[in-house]
Structure 1
Amino acid sequence: MWRTIRSFLRLLAIARALARHDALAPLELAGIARPVVQLARLVSRRRAEGRPGQKLARALTDLGPSFIKLGQFMSTRADLIGEEVAHDLAELQDHLPPFESAEARRIVEDELGQPMAVLFARFDEVPLSAASIAQVHLAVTAEGEEVAVKVLRPGVEAAFERDLALFYWLAELAERASARFRRLKPVALVRLFEEQVKIEMNLSMEAAAADELAENFAGDTTYNVPPVDWQRTSRRVLTAGRVGGIPMDDRDALIRAGHDIDAVLEKAANIFFKQVFRDGFFHGDQHPGNMFVDTQGNIVAVDFGIMGRLDRQTRYFLADMLLALLDRDYQQLAEVHVEAGYLPKPTADTPPLPVFAQALRSVSEPIFGKPLHEISFARLLGQLFQLSESFDMEVQPQLLLLQKNMMMAEGVSRSLRPELNTWTLAQPLIAEWMRENRGPEARVREGAESLLHIARRLPETLERIETIVEDVQSGGLRLDARAARALGGGRANGWLKLALGVSATALALGAAALAVAIV
């Protein structure tokens, strides 16, 4: 009860803030808390300039850090808020006025347990940047290393927890409001948002992500991650090597510096492919402000608070979908969607699979062979989202971040070379990865690994069977009458022989498959 009252009062304050920016349209569209929204609309009759998404972005900035992060997160959900609003929220700038340098110093000393004079020979008073969660100061360590020090904004954790309760309340209202919102799983969406932001507010987790990413690209000079200074890093402070370069989307500056635009884009495409398919661990916020080109034409990345992960099975499904799409085999593409669990298995109440294949063809065929600048990816995603709704497909949260980053990558590519399709640059790597991981040899190897896993568990399985047999024979295991008759009367040895036969067959198949894979 108290939670509902607190959430209602907070919602009223938020609705007033949205009304001041003439940004009530998203709440009106969602149909959530209609009386509150109508009251806010009556109180404020302002008509601000700009598109609905632009007005919403300004309102979210005024509402504070949690809402800025929510806006950035929702920019991946064109299915929920519409293509135009999603595009405008993607442009939401994560900038806030800086907090006092003295407060930053206090946090550093409290977190690291040493005086600033011991930790740093110099610590800039004016921050390099200030965002909703943290701000960054340039510094020089006592050992003379040039570093960047990221300090968590004071009070941001408590503010996020307070706002999170409201977000859950609104999500629950949305699920009760309509079947469409239930399919989009708003409560699960808020849970995903909570997990993401809590990780982002833990700077030691960001440091670990940077470290892992650097390890994945060890020896690859095309992609550089600033080294973490673990001695000066904690939950609320992150110290890393200082890096620099030209922002990834500054075409004129790149050309003036003598960089080959095609070479830069090829490196960026290959890096993105390696992160997603090779490693299943990718930078989740690759906007131009977080990516730079160094003097050697290599890519430098910063800000690793948002990272994405894809397990091996998901990567395999994505690869199978890509293969089917490149072959224009829409029936196979539809079947992979079912196998992956993205599309419900056909029933008497759902459209047959060939109809889904036909729908996939209708969306995909118009873009084949077209250069990037002739393809509207916002429109394409909108069509795919409509398709998912028509066929009762569940939205896959683990792919939302990937979709967002693909859009960012295409935006950068379009700003540098509009006539170039950036994904064709990574085609040789894609072909090699497909052959190694989804070709006939790979499938034999995958089958062999599964069988060998069964074979490794053979001793444990036999031991369990033997224990069961002994318990049955001694009367120590209670079974129903039919099971007791099947296992009793001297037939237990038959069951044991059957188990041995099956296990031996699995072992033989595993050995044969392994031999084929090695040859």
Structure 2
Amino acid sequence: MIRSVKNLNRLLTIGRVLARHDALFLLEELVPMARHLSSLLRGGKPSLSTGRPGQRLADALTELGPSFIKLGQALSTRADLLGEEMAADLSGLQDKLPPFPAHEARRIIEEDLGGPVAQHYSAFDDTPVAAASIAQVHFAITTEGREVAVKVLRPGVEAKFHRDIDLLYWLAEWAEFALPRIRRLKPVETVKTFEDSVTLEMDLRFEAAAAAELAENFMGDDNFMVPEVDWLRTGKRLLTLERVAGIPVDEVDRLRDAGHDPVGILAKAAEAMFKQVFRDGFFHADMHPGNLFIGAKGELIAVDFGIMGRVDQSTRRFLGEMLLGFLSGDFRKVAEVHFAAGYVPADQSIDSFTQACRSIAEPILGRPLHEISIAKLLGQLFQVTETFAMETQPQLLLLQKSMLVAEGVGRILDPHINMWQLAQPLIEGWMRENLGPQAKVRETVTNVVYSLERLPRLLADTEKTYSMLVNQGLKLHPDTVKTMFGDQRRKTPGGAMLPWILAAILAALLILK
């Protein structure tokens, strides 16, 4: 009861903000009177925001603060729920807030590292270079004389987030109860995914680990750089990284003036995206222009590793086969891949789904090559989920958003070149290696080797079980015997033979002894 009262009170506050920006449309299905409530909560005043629904919603979420900015960014991956236009508007949501005071940043550093700031940094710039919803960044110099960037968690953000996440759970639970048809979209599970993502993002040690893993994956690669983590100056609320210098990837004129070829940069970006998704299954899921710079030698420099994505080997195989099917026009193959992966229930019509895949792909793949958007293709595919009872695949939604952002960067660098065209040889090579006959042979051999490695343990377990049977006997409860044998005798013609078959097996074991 107390939880409901607290959430209703918080919901009223949120409702007023949404109403001021004429953004209550998301509640219209749950609350039929939402349109009239919007005018009532505004007190007859005009909306603070104009433009498309997604733009108005982005303005409202920005006013509501850190948790809702992150929620908006998460919703930008859900074109299946909101539509492409609104999802695109939310993807441009700026994760920027006014900075918090420098003395608060210093206090957090001292609490996390122990001792005064001067004990760890010989110089610390009190003016932040960036302030986002979760943290802000200061430049500093370590006591060893190394230039670093220090990311400090925003004070009190954890408490605010947990208050708002409880509200989101409450709303999701009510939505599942009141609207059974949306259960397949897993609203409660979606909130859980969002909670896990932001919880990780609020522990900067996890971001440090993500940066270190990505750097390890690209060790020895001169085309992609990740700043080095200073682990001695990193904690739950504090992350210290090597300071890097470069030109933002979207400042094309500056890049040309510095002697960089935008097409060459685009090729490196396509290769880096391919390697992260297909080779490693671990990708930077927030690679917008503000997080990607070009170094003096033309290398890509990534920053901000709070949002990362993973795709397992089976999902990568699914993606490879699906892309191959789409690009070759084999829509039946695309449909079969979805059914084999379990993304479409087996009771659905594979012929109808094949037709749906064709209807989605033909208008996109029929365009000039540089206008083809694989991310848009995936987004439209996700929108047919309701028709075919497909369940939400969070890892694919995050990947689709990342691909959309990558395509946007590519079009800034050169609007006449498709980055997937540049990556196509890499993707085809990966598919030959992982989906061709040799790959199937290799997979079979791997499974056999794995089985052989398990064989000694399996034999040891069998011997142990056999020893127990001989020395201690096999004791079964009468009800168990009745369940095993009594019903079988009545239901199956050979049911009466089953006890004798088991007895013969046990006798054989005793003879072999």
2:326 is aligned with 1:311 = no
- Within 1, Cα distance between the matches of 2:68 and 2:32? 20
Aligned letter for 2:312? D
State whether residues 292 and 300 of structure 1, in contact with CA within 8 Å, keep that contact through their aligned partners in structure 2: yes
Query: After superposition, where does 1:150-189 map in structure 2 within 5 Å?
Result: 150-189=151-190
- Within 2, Cα distance between the matches of 1:494 and 1:316? 44
Query: Which residue number corresponds to residue 32 of structure 1?
Result: 30
Q: Secondary structure at the match of 1:390?
A: coil
2:10 is aligned with 1:10 = yes
- Within 2, Cα distance between the matches of 1:110 and 1:345? 55
User: Displacement, 1:322?
Assistant: 2.1
Cα deviation code 1:197-224 (max 9, x no counterpart)? 0000000110010001000000001000
Query: Which residue number corresponds to residue 501 of structure 2?
Result: 486
Query: Which residue number corresponds to residue 81 of structure 2?
Result: 80
Q: Secondary structure at the match of 2:384?
A: helix
Structure 1 residues 54, 471: closer, same or farther in 2, change over 3 A? same
Match of 2:451 among 424, 440, 454: 454
Query: Which residue number corresponds to residue 515 of structure 1?
Result: none
Q: Secondary structure at the match of 1:394?
A: coil
Aligned letter for 2:398? L
Q: Which runs of 5+ in 1 are unaligned?
A: 498-519
Structure 1 residues 174, 492: closer, same or farther in 2, change over 3 A? same
Aligned letter for 1:439? G
What is the percentage of aligned positions where both structures have the same residue?
A: 57
User: Displacement, 1:383?
Assistant: 3.3
Query: Which residue number corresponds to residue 444 of structure 1?
Result: 441
Cα deviation code 1:106-134 (max 9, x no counterpart)? 11011001211111111001100111000
- Within 1, Cα distance between the matches of 2:373 and 2:210? 33
Q: Secondary structure at the match of 2:98?
A: coil
Match of 1:371 among 360, 368, 372: 368
User: Displacement, 1:26?
Assistant: 2.1
State whether residues 15 and 37 of structure 1, in contact with CA within 8 Å, keep that contact through their aligned partners in structure 2: no
Q: Which runs of 5+ in 2 are unaligned?
A: 486-496
Aligned letter for 2:30? I
Query: Which residue number corresponds to residue 500 of structure 1?
Result: none
Structure 1 residues 394, 143: closer, same or farther in 2, change over 3 A? same
Query: Which residue number corresponds to residue 390 of structure 1?
Result: 387
Aligned letter for 1:82? G
User: Displacement, 1:244?
Assistant: 1.8
- Within 2, Cα distance between the matches of 1:254 and 1:492? 81
- Within 2, Cα distance between the matches of 1:380 and 1:295? 35
Structure 1 residues 491, 94: closer, same or farther in 2, change over 3 A? closer
State whether residues 72 and 92 of structure 1, in contact with CA within 8 Å, keep that contact through their aligned partners in structure 2: yes
State whether residues 472 and 487 of structure 1, in contact with CA within 8 Å, keep that contact through their aligned partners in structure 2: no
Aligned letter for 2:397? L
2:357 is aligned with 1:356 = no
User: Displacement, 1:475?
Assistant: 6.0
Report the count of equivalent residues. Answer: 491
Cα deviation code 1:238-276 (max 9, x no counterpart)? 001001211112222212222111110000000000000
- Within 1, Cα distance between the matches of 2:227 and 2:296? 15
Structure 1 residues 43, 430: closer, same or farther in 2, change over 3 A? closer
- Within 1, Cα distance between the matches of 2:373 and 2:238? 41
- Within 2, Cα distance between the matches of 1:124 and 1:496? 82
- Within 1, Cα distance between the matches of 2:419 and 2:73? 24
State whether residues 436 and 442 of structure 1, in contact with CA within 8 Å, keep that contact through their aligned partners in structure 2: yes
User: Displacement, 1:372?
Assistant: 5.2
User: Displacement, 1:395?
Assistant: 1.4
Question: Which moves more between the two structures, 35-44 or 83-92?
Answer: 35-44
Query: Which residue number corresponds to residue 233 of structure 1?
Result: 234
Query: Which residue number corresponds to residue 493 of structure 2?
Result: none
- Within 2, Cα distance between the matches of 1:379 and 1:439? 27
Q: Secondary structure at the match of 1:235?
A: coil
Structure 1 residues 486, 464: closer, same or farther in 2, change over 3 A? farther
Structure 1 residues 103, 474: closer, same or farther in 2, change over 3 A? closer
- Within 1, Cα distance between the matches of 2:353 and 2:510? 46
User: Displacement, 1:34?
Assistant: 4.5
Query: Which residue number corresponds to residue 330 of structure 1?
Result: 331
State whether residues 375 and 403 of structure 2, in contact with CA within 8 Å, keep that contact through their aligned partners in structure 1: no
Cα deviation code 1:404-461 (max 9, x no counterpart)? 0100011111122112111011122112211222111111110111122112222222
Query: Which residue number corresponds to residue 344 of structure 2?
Result: 343
Query: Which residue number corresponds to residue 257 of structure 2?
Result: 256
Structure 1 residues 491, 172: closer, same or farther in 2, change over 3 A? closer
Q: Secondary structure at the match of 2:386?
A: helix
Query: Which residue number corresponds to residue 509 of structure 1?
Result: none
Structure 1 residues 404, 474: closer, same or farther in 2, change over 3 A? same
TM-score in terms of structure 1 length: 0.90
- Within 2, Cα distance between the matches of 1:2 and 1:33? 22
- Within 2, Cα distance between the matches of 1:448 and 1:378? 35
State whether residues 129 and 137 of structure 1, in contact with CA within 8 Å, keep that contact through their aligned partners in structure 2: yes
Backbone CA RMSD of aligned residues: 2.1
Structure 1 residues 490, 184: closer, same or farther in 2, change over 3 A? closer
Structure 1 residues 234, 495: closer, same or farther in 2, change over 3 A? farther
Question: Which moves more between the two structures, 315-324 or 472-481?
Answer: 472-481
State whether residues 365 and 372 of structure 2, in contact with CA within 8 Å, keep that contact through their aligned partners in structure 1: no
- Within 2, Cα distance between the matches of 1:103 and 1:142? 21
Q: Secondary structure at the match of 2:383?
A: helix
